[in-house]
Chains A and B, each alone.
Chain A
Amino acid sequence: MPITLTIADDHIMVINGLKTMLEKHDGISIISTNINGKELLDSLALAQPDVLLLDIQMPGMTGIELCPIIVKTYPGIKIITLTSFEESHYVKQMIRNGVSGYLLKNTDQNTLIEAIEAVYNGQQFIDPQIQKILLEESLSGKKVSSYEIPLTKREKEILKLVAEEKSNQEIADLLFISLRTVETHRLNLSQKLNIKNTAGLVKEAIKRGLIQ
């Protein structure tokens, strides 16, 4: 018994491409193709496939909006996002919304079939290209040590003046900036360094060699 498949993509050409890649494969049978969200929901109401290939960008409802509805209404359907968006935000969001796979549109026949089969078998599938991006992102992710947090020149000036026990107004007068700007810089400093009080800021200034 072949895996039933429904496609939702606003590009007919993409749908045709997918059909071409899948029609020779015995294990997969396309039961419906839709070019927008409304059509998709109508077709799902008639027949539910095993796997759904869902594009993100479509006129009307987007894949992001459709996903939670489908997951809620038809929990049995495995969804693979097939999109040209490679940003990790989309990946994360779609996975949070309940998709099982994430594929890029420039995928090849083998990867596509592999993904459909993996999802059908209850596994998760992320496009190798996406995997690579996610890995890079996690490697260049946020630095935890406050020592390495770079401060802007202005922030350094202000940190130095704070350490010299200058009031916000005095700092504003010295640097020819508004009091509000000084307050913003100070808040940024506190948040960046995770320091709440002036004493901590003084310590930080000494640590950074801004004052003796």
Chain B
Amino acid sequence: MLFKRSFCFYAVCCLSVGSATTVYGQKQDSNSVKKLLDSASVLIDIDKQKALNLYQTIITTSKKINYPFGVAKSLHNTGIINYELAEYEKARKFFHEAIAQYRPIKHGKGISSCLSNIGNTYQLQDKSDSALLYYQKAVDVSQQYGLTESAGRGYSNMGMVFRKLKQPQKAYDYYLKAFQLAKKSKDSTTMGIALINQGTIMDDLGKKEEFYQKQLEALKIGELSHNNYVMKLASFNIGDYFGTKKDYQSAIIYSERSLQYSLLMGIPYETERIKPIIARFYFLSGNYKKAESMLFDALEQSKKIEASDITLDCYTILQELYETKNDFKQAYKYQKLAKELNDKIFNETQVKTIHELEVKYQTSEKDKQLTSNKLQIAEKDLQIQWRNTWITITISVIGLLLTIVLITYLTYQNRQKLHKQKLIALDKEKEVQLLEAMINGEEKERTRIAKDLHDGVGGMLSAAKMHFSVIKNENPQMNNIQGFDTALSLLDESATEVRKTSHNLMPELLLTHGLKEALALFCQRINNPLTYVEFVALGDIPRFKQSFELSVYRIVQELVNNVIKHSEAKEAIVQISCHDELLSITVEDDGKGFNQNGTSKNGIGLSSLHSRVESFNGSMKIDSEEKKGTTIYLEFDIARLKVLASSELA
């Protein structure tokens, strides 16, 4: 019974591989690809891995030369190889890809074949629904392209599914359809198979006669079309029928026929498979000798082709045979052999199954691990992404904060600085005001004292002298009194001294004639045999605000006094010049100079001069070296002072 089922799959696979060898040429470039496809199809049976590699190459080449059929065919056959390796998922993937390639070039046979093969994979996985769906699709496509033969085979396949689903009526209907279509396309193989299977269904239903009739019909068709395959199957089934009827002679006749067709087809396994069955018939018919020789023949051949299941059959029948012959020794021997082989097969199957399971387990483990790895990687990626995002955000926030802090700090510092500057400016202004007030007060006091001296004491001294001179003139004898003249000259000197002091305190000339005249007179007066003071005035020196003129006068006065008192200079220059609103004064001597870093009394005097100069926004530069004289340079921006001066003078 096992035999009856297996042929259905064979038919389909044969079709697939068969179509794979078919070559459709459209392009000249494709000739080499066609040749490659041919060699690959041969390789399928020899080395599947090599075949797969070759198909991969063909796909690449075909894509390069734009030959879609090459791609489609290679994918198709790659699918078939995977199918044969029981990699059904993979196989389906390749079939689908192949269909996608077949569609644009409208290769109906290819599409239908692929669909049907997908159906096969589902069928093998006991997914009947999907299998039926794809078989139906295959039929539809076949009919669409007018491929009656393919459609017939599709129906045949569907019949097979329904038979498996124990729906004999439906199965029968589809086989009927298959038969009709096969008849139309004169496809004897499908016709025969359809009839045989119809019969098998009858057999399933216990309708032995109908089974027999169908097999006979199939045999007739096989004979008419010289189809060895159909004839082999039909005669085998008829043999079986007679076997069950215990008509062993007829059974032997049909079985031997089946064996003959098998031999014609040249498939050793199929041939050897029938032999033990015939032998059994001989055995049952009492022809032990014939049975024995046939079994030994089958035994030898089956061992050669390593078909252990056939060998096992042979052992079993031989054991039965020897039992009947009461040759228990032989019977025991074959029983033992059968048991051993059975165990071996069982073990092999088990090992194979275990191995398969192991492979499956490992594969699934690997998949699991791969998936978990992928998951981990994805998780890590996500983590990294998160971390990166966080880092970016953190850095941005920190950067922003730092910027804000920096800006705030700078603004604060700037404000502080401005504030400080303002304070300093205010302080300075205050200082200047104080100084000015002080100077003004001082000058006022000086003016008052000068006036008192000049007007009071000076006047009185003058008057006294006048009276004395009258007395002297009126009394000529006074000329002889020495003391009188001395007193008179002392009086004279007192008047001069008072006048000089008064002038020093308040130089009248400065008020009336300005800096140039006043300084010129001052220098002239201070001239003495030890130090010669040269006065140089350059440019037009205008009149200034009185307080400014007085300050400048006092500063120069003090500088020159310092020169006279301390420098031991032989010569000194006082130079005043005015150009472009810039009043510059130089006081220079060739005296002993001083160490500028030293803290002498000089230093204190100079620092007070500094503040006085600064109070008028002027600058003072002191340049002195020991034994090389001293140069003091003053500079004033007079734009403001002059304007004020003109209004004051008016």
Contact = CB atoms under 8 A, between A and B. Distances in A.
B524 A152 contact: no
Interface stretch (A67-75, A120-128, A184-192): A184-192
A157 to B, nearest CB: 10
**Interface-central residue, B470, B584, B633, by most chain A CB under 10 Å:** B470
A20 B467 contact: yes
Contacts of A86: 499
A109 B463 CA distance: 11
A13 B465 CA distance: 11
Contacts of A20: 466-467, 470
B369 interface: no
Contact of A137 (B458, B509, B524): B524
A50 to B, nearest CB: 21
A169 interface: no
A13 B463 contact: yes
Contacts of A96: none
Contacts, number: 123
B454 A84 contact: yes
B455 to A, nearest CB: 7
Contacts of B521: 87, 89
B473 A154 contact: no
Interface residues of B, number: 50
A158 to B, nearest CB: 12
B631 A153 contact: yes
Contacts of A108: 465-466, 469, 472
A154 B513 contact: no
Interface in B546-593: 571, 573, 575, 577, 579-580, 582, 584, 586, 588
B492 interface: yes
B539 A187 contact: yes
Contacts of A183: 579-580
Given A137-B524, A152-B575, A192 B473 contact: no
Contact of B465 (A106, A152, A185): A106
A-side interface mostly: helix
Given A106-B465, A110-B473, A140-B527, A13 B579 contact: no
Contact of A21 (B466, B491, B496, B534): B466
B571 A188 contact: no
B464 interface: yes
Interface string A92-104: 0000000000000
A154 B633 contact: yes
A142 B459 CA distance: 35
B306 interface: no
Interface of B: 454-455, 458-467, 469-470, 472-474, 491-492, 495-496, 499, 508-509, 512-513, 517, 521, 524, 527, 534, 536, 538-539, 571, 573, 575, 577, 579-580, 582, 584, 586, 588, 621, 623, 629, 631, 633, 635
Nearest 6 pairs between A and B by C-beta? A17-B466, A11-B459, A17-B463, A13-B463, A108-B469, A105-B462
